[in-house]
Structure 1
Amino acid sequence: MPPATPRRTVLAAALAAATAATAGTAVPATAAEACADRETCTDEPPGHAPAPGLVDNRFWSTYTDWRCGTPAGTRAVSGHRPGLVIDTPAGRTDYTDPHTGRTATWEYARWTSPVHTSTAPATEVIASWNADTPAGTWLQVELRGTYGDGTDTPWFVMGRWAAGDADIRRTSVDDQSDGKASVWTDTFSVDDPASGLRLVSYRLRLTLHRTPGTTLTPTVWRLGAMASDVPDRFTVPASTPGPGHELVVPRYSQNIHVGQYPEYDNGGEAWCSPTSSQMIVEYWGRRPSADDLAWVDPSYADPQVCHAARSTYDYQYAGCGNWPFNAAYAATYPDMNAVVTRLHSLTDLETLIRAGIPAITSQSFRKDELTGAGYGTSGHLMTVIGFTADGDVIANDPASPNDAAVRRIYRRREWENIWLRTKRYDANGKVRGGTGGVCYLYFPDRPTPVQRKALEAVGVL
C-alpha cells in the first residue's frame, strides 16, 4: 500500500493558497573568560560577510556555545557531552495542554542564543534539538528573526517537546503568522518568496520546564536550525555517480503495522518516518529496552517501530511525520546526535554513505516517476543505505509489504529529481510542492575522523 497523504502536504497547500543536571559539572569561570562579556560574544567574528548559498546550518553544542548564549536560570555543564540544564529557575508558569485540557504549574529557565546571520538569507527555517527530558520535565524551542527589510518577527514556537507523553503531549503550534511569514508544524516559511523578502538572521530561545520544588532538569546537548533558500524547480541537474558502496542497515516495513495503535495515526501507511528513524537508530547499535517496549502488544512484530511511532507522534499534526520530533527521538539514545537539514545533491549522500553514515530522505512522486516503487505519494520518508556501481540508489523503503522486501534499488536520475525538486505535478496535473532535499542525519556524538570529515563536507559539523 502506498503511504497516505501526509498532513504536512495539506498544510503546505494551505500556505500556498494564503501566499540530566548531572551530565557534567560547571567549568570554572577562568576557563571561559572569552565569553565573560556577552556583549562581545557574537556568533560571527567582526567583519563577517556571509557568502551566499542555498542552505545554512548553525548548531550550538559546545560548552563555549552554551556559555555564549544569554541565560535566565540555566547553567552550562561540561564533561563528555556539554549541555544546558536548569540552575535556579527564573520563575513559574501555568501551561494548559491543548490536547488534554489539563493545566499544570511548571518552574522554568531560559537560554537565548546569540544572533546568527545566515549565509543563506532564508525563505524557510527548520529547528532541531537533542535532549534528555526525564519524567517531570519538558522543553520549548522558539525562533525570532530579522527580515531583509529590517523588521523583526515575533517569537515563533517551533515545538513543545518531551521524550515521553505523561507530562505534556508533544506538539507543534500551527497557524502562527506575522503577516510576512508563517509557522506550520515544524517549518518557518516566508509567505511570498517571490516578493524577495528573506529572513537574514535569527536567534533561538530554549525554555526548560520542570515540576516545581524538584531538582529535575532537562539536559540539552544540541540546538540549532537549518535555514534555506532553495529556488523553485521542477527538475535538477544530474550529478555524476561516484564509487558504489552499501551499508548494512536493519530493514523494517511500515505496512505490517496497518491498523495498529489508532491513537498514533493508525500505523502502517502513516509510519514511514518513525520506521525509517528506527532503522538508523539500530544501525548505530541502539535500541529501546524491554521496559520501553512493555506497553506494546506482544503479538505485534517489530515492537520497536510502534515505540518509535509513539515517541515521534505530534498531537497537533496528528501524525508521526514531524521532522524535528523524529530527530529528537533518535537523539534520546546514548551519545547520539540528530539534525534536520537539506543536502545539495546525491554527491552529498554518496559522501556520507562512504563514511558509513546512512540518511533519511523526504520525497514525493507519482507512481510513474519512480520505477519499481509501485506507488505514488505526496510525502514519504526512505532510508538511503548505498549506491550501486552504476550510481543507482539503494534504499530501505518502509512502504514495502514485509521486512524482507524493504531493500530496493531505484534509478539514480529519477530518485535524485523527486528528492531535490521543490515543485512537481500531481496525477491531476496540479502543481504541488517538493521538499528540496530535506533529510535527517543521525550520527554518534564522537564520529570517527572520516565521519567527521563527511559531516563537515555537507555543512552539518
Structure 2
Amino acid sequence: MTSSAPRRTVLAAALAAAAGAATPSAQAADAARTSEASAPAATPQAAARRSKSLVDYHSWTTTTDWHKGRAQGTGITHGARPGIHIVHPVGTLDYKDPHTGRTTTWDYAVWTSPAHSLKVPATEVIASWNAHTPPATWIAVELRGTYSDGGHTPWYVMGRWTAGDGASDIRRTSVDDQKDGRSSVSTDTFAIDAPAGGLRLTSYQLRLTLHRKPGTPLTPTVWRVGAMGSDLPDRFEVPASRPGQVGRELVVPRYSQEIHKGQYPEYDNGGEAWCSPTSSQMIIEYWGRKPTQQQLSWVNPDYADPQVCHAARHTFDYQYEGCGNWPFNAAYAATYRDLQGIVTRLTSLTDLEHLIHAGLPVITSQSFLKTELDGAGYGTAGHLMTVIGFTKNGDIVANDPASPDNAAVRRIYKRRQFENIWLRTKRYDAKGQVKSGSGGVCYLYFPAKPAPTQHRVLAELGIH
C-alpha cells in the first residue's frame, strides 16, 4: 500500500541531524465553471501570506523565460506551449546505461537557467519538469546551488527522464551517491545534510541536457522546468487550522492499487506499492485524458483498470526501484495532451481548500501509524492519496488507493488527523524512532490553460 518512501534515507538523516542539533472532462469542466462563479478573488491578505511562506516554487515556461537562459544548441519552440528543443547538437556523449549495460552514443544540446534567488534560503529543493520525449530521445535535469556562505554545490543530477522504455530508450533513473560533504541528493530531493548548523541554499540554477540518436531529426521538447525550495521547521505537530472553503467534493475516478497486487512485480513488486501512479492516473482521468487502447495493448486483458498498470510502468525509476519518484509522476502526467504537472509543498489546509474550491484535486504524500488516521486501517512509511474535497464540517474527502477495491476508495478522514500527518516534518515510527514526514509535499496536475479562477489560485501559490 505504500510507495518505496523508506529508501529516502538522506532525507531521514538530515532531519535526524537537525533534531540532534486542453479540453477537460465533463466533471472537470463543470468544476471550472462552478469555481469561476464562486471562488473569491486573490486578496492582499493572501499575497502577504505567500510573501511569508517558507516554500518557494519557481519555473521557466514562457518564451521570455527560455530567452533568459543560456542556450547551447537549443532553440525555442513557439506556440501555445513554448519550450526548448535541439536545433543543432553541440557534442556527443557515450552513455552506459547502468540498468541495461548498453553503451550508446547520443547527440546533445544544453539549456541552462539563470540563477534563481530563493525567497527564503532552503534546506531542501525538489525539481520537476514537463517534456515530450519521442523514442530514442531523453533529457537530464541537473541542479547547482549557492550556499549561504558563498560556496557552490556540484551539478547534481535530479533525474534522467524519458517517457518510454523501448529497445532504443535509456531507462529513466535517479542517481545515487551524489554528495559533497555538505549536501546530498536522495532519489529526487536535494537536502542540506546538517540544517541545524545554519547552512542553507540561497539560489540555484537548473540545467537541461537534451539527447537524441545521431542522425535523427527527432528531439525532446521541454515545456516546463522548475523547482520547489523550502525551509520548514522541524515539528512533530502542526498548528490546527479552522475550516474555511469547505463543503465541496470533486468527481474524480476511483482506482484501487490493491486489486493489482501481484501484477507486474518487476515494477516495484506489483500493485500493492502503486499508490503514486494510481493516484496520478485518477487525476489524469479527472482532466479527461487516458492511454489509448494501443498504448494499453501490452497489459494482460484479464486485468482490470489496465491504465493503472500503464502508469506504474511509465513512472518506474530503475534506480529507486519504485514508482514513487515524485518528479517522475509529474512528468508522466504531463505526457498527456495539454496537461502540466509539478511537485511542490503546501503549508496549510487553507491552501488545499482553495485548490479544491477552484476545481483542482491534489495528490498528497504522508506517513503515519495505524492509530494516527482513523478509518485508514493501516500504517505506512510513505503513501500517496488524492484529496478530492472537504465535508461541510471541514473533514477531508480522499480517494485512497490503499483500498480493497474501487468502490471502497472514497474515504473521509478527520481534518485534524490528516492535517498533522501530512504537514509535519518529523514523526515517530512503531518502534519509537524519529523518522521524517513529507512536510506537505504534493503533486499538482492542471491544464496548460487553466480556467481564470484556477490560474489565480495557482498564482497565489507562486505557480505560473
| TM > 0.5 fold call | yes
Q: Give the direction of change, closer, same or farther, for the CA distance of 1:430–1:100 in structure 2 (3 Å limit).
A: same
Take 1:341 and 1:248, find their aligned partners in 2: how far apart are those partners?
23
Deviation at 1:291, TM superposition (A): 1.1
Matched, 1:282 2:282: no
- Residue 118 of structure 1 aligns to which amino acid in structure 2? L
RMSD: 1.4
Residue in 2 that maps onto 1:309: 312
Cα deviation digits, residues 297-347 of structure 1 (max 9, x gap): 110010000000000000000000000000000000000011000001010
8 A Cα contact 2:367 2:382, kept in partner = yes
Residue in 2 that maps onto 1:194: 196
Take 1:411 and 1:52, find their aligned partners in 2: how far apart are those partners?
28
Take 1:400 and 1:68, find their aligned partners in 2: how far apart are those partners?
47
Deviation at 1:176, TM superposition (A): 0.3
1:250 to 234, 250, 253: 253
Deviation at 1:52, TM superposition (A): 5.7
Matched, 1:392 2:391: no
**What are the within-5 Å matches in structure 2 for residues 139-158 of structure 1?**
139-158=139-158
**What are the within-5 Å matches in structure 2 for residues 115-154 of structure 1?**
115-154=115-154
Q: Give the direction of change, closer, same or farther, for the CA distance of 1:362–1:207 in structure 2 (3 Å limit).
A: same
Residue in 1 that maps onto 2:79: 79
8 A Cα contact 2:235 2:426, kept in partner = yes
Take 1:190 and 1:209, find their aligned partners in 2: how far apart are those partners?
30
Matched, 1:346 2:345: no
Matched, 1:170 2:172: yes
Take 1:183 and 1:119, find their aligned partners in 2: how far apart are those partners?
21
Residue in 2 that maps onto 1:34: none
Take 1:352 and 1:85, find their aligned partners in 2: how far apart are those partners?
32
Deviation at 1:77, TM superposition (A): 1.7
Moved more, 227-236 or 265-274: 265-274
8 A Cα contact 1:129 1:338, kept in partner = yes
- Residue 429 of structure 1 aligns to which amino acid in structure 2? G
Take 1:4 and 1:85, find their aligned partners in 2: how far apart are those partners?
33
Report SS of the residue matched to 1:339: strand
1:409 to 409, 412, 415: 412
Deviation at 1:80, TM superposition (A): 1.3
Report SS of the residue matched to 1:439: strand
List gaps (5 residues or longer) in structure 1.
20-49
Runs of 4+ residues deviating >4 angstroms: 14-19
8 A Cα contact 1:253 1:401, kept in partner = yes
8 A Cα contact 1:123 1:190, kept in partner = yes
Deviation at 1:456, TM superposition (A): 1.1
Take 2:156 and 2:3, find their aligned partners in 1: how far apart are those partners?
29
Deviation at 1:430, TM superposition (A): 1.0
**What are the within-5 Å matches in structure 2 for residues 7-406 of structure 1?**
7-13=6-12, 53-166=53-166, 167-242=169-244, 243-406=246-409
Moved more, 5-14 or 142-151: 5-14
Deviation at 1:175, TM superposition (A): 1.3
Cα deviation digits, residues 172-198 of structure 1 (max 9, x gap): 001100110000100000000000000
**Structure 2 length normalisation: TM-score?**
0.91
Q: Give the direction of change, closer, same or farther, for the CA distance of 1:10–1:181 in structure 2 (3 Å limit).
A: closer
Take 1:447 and 1:308, find their aligned partners in 2: how far apart are those partners?
24
- Residue 384 of structure 1 aligns to which amino acid in structure 2? V
Take 1:107 and 1:196, find their aligned partners in 2: how far apart are those partners?
42
- Residue 92 of structure 2 aligns to which amino acid in structure 1? R
Deviation at 1:16, TM superposition (A): 5.6
Take 1:115 and 1:306, find their aligned partners in 2: how far apart are those partners?
39
List gaps (5 residues or longer) in structure 2.
19-49
Take 2:209 and 2:267, find their aligned partners in 1: how far apart are those partners?
26
Greater length-normalized contact order (CA 8 Å, ≥ 6 residues apart): 2
Deviation at 1:83, TM superposition (A): 0.6
Deviation at 1:244, TM superposition (A): 1.2
Cα deviation digits, residues 135-160 of structure 1 (max 9, x gap): 01000000001000000111000000
Report SS of the residue matched to 1:189: strand
Deviation at 1:459, TM superposition (A): 2.1
Take 2:282 and 2:164, find their aligned partners in 1: how far apart are those partners?
20
Take 1:54 and 1:232, find their aligned partners in 2: how far apart are those partners?
12
How many residue pairs get aligned? The number is 430
Report SS of the residue matched to 1:160: strand
Report SS of the residue matched to 2:312: helix
8 A Cα contact 1:85 1:218, kept in partner = yes
**Structure 1 length normalisation: TM-score?**
0.91
Q: Give the direction of change, closer, same or farther, for the CA distance of 1:17–1:228 in structure 2 (3 Å limit).
A: closer
8 A Cα contact 2:267 2:322, kept in partner = yes
Deviation at 1:384, TM superposition (A): 0.2
8 A Cα contact 1:5 1:377, kept in partner = no
Take 2:225 and 2:318, find their aligned partners in 1: how far apart are those partners?
22
Take 1:5 and 1:102, find their aligned partners in 2: how far apart are those partners?
27
Take 1:195 and 1:365, find their aligned partners in 2: how far apart are those partners?
28
8 A Cα contact 2:83 2:221, kept in partner = yes
Take 1:63 and 1:435, find their aligned partners in 2: how far apart are those partners?
33
Residue in 2 that maps onto 1:28: none
Deviation at 1:5, TM superposition (A): 5.8
Matched, 1:458 2:443: no
Deviation at 1:458, TM superposition (A): 2.0
- Residue 360 of structure 1 aligns to which amino acid in structure 2? I
Deviation at 1:9, TM superposition (A): 4.1
8 A Cα contact 1:116 1:202, kept in partner = yes
